[in-house]
Amino acid sequence: MRLIFSAALALAALSAPAFADIKTACRKDVDALCKSVKPGGGKLLTCIAENRAKVSGDCKVAIADRMLERRAKAEADKKSGKSSSSKDDDE
């Protein structure tokens, strides 16, 4: 079931308009679901993940899109022999 959900998000990300970033797409979700969470250390992302059933479609698509971008970059880096950093300043 989880695989189907992930695949659906990935397909939606491919067909949806690109968002400038996750912060823009998820702002209302963070304000509504995670307003007491202090940013840093991936705490907001954890909050969004814990509330994923309530998260908007736009936010889910933006996150799925970012995941696809990271996966593609990691695969390209692997093919070219570069190492990829898993740390991102968006969290």
Q: Residue 28 belongs to what H/E stretch?
A: helix 22-33
Q: For residue range 19-41, what is the model confidence (pLDDT) as tens digits?
A: 458 889 999 999 999 999 998 99
Cα–Cα distances in angstroms (integers) from residue 2 to residues 25, 50, 76, 87, 89, in the given order: 22, 14, 26, 25, 27
Mean pLDDT, the chain, rounded, equals: 79
Would you state the pLDDT for residue 40? 92
Q: Which two tokens mark 49?
A: 């993940």
Vertex 66: Cα angle to 63 and 30 (nearest 5): 35
Would you state the pLDDT for residue 15? 44
CB atoms within 10 A of CB 52: 13
Would you state the pLDDT for residue 48? 93
Residue 85: pLDDT above 90? no
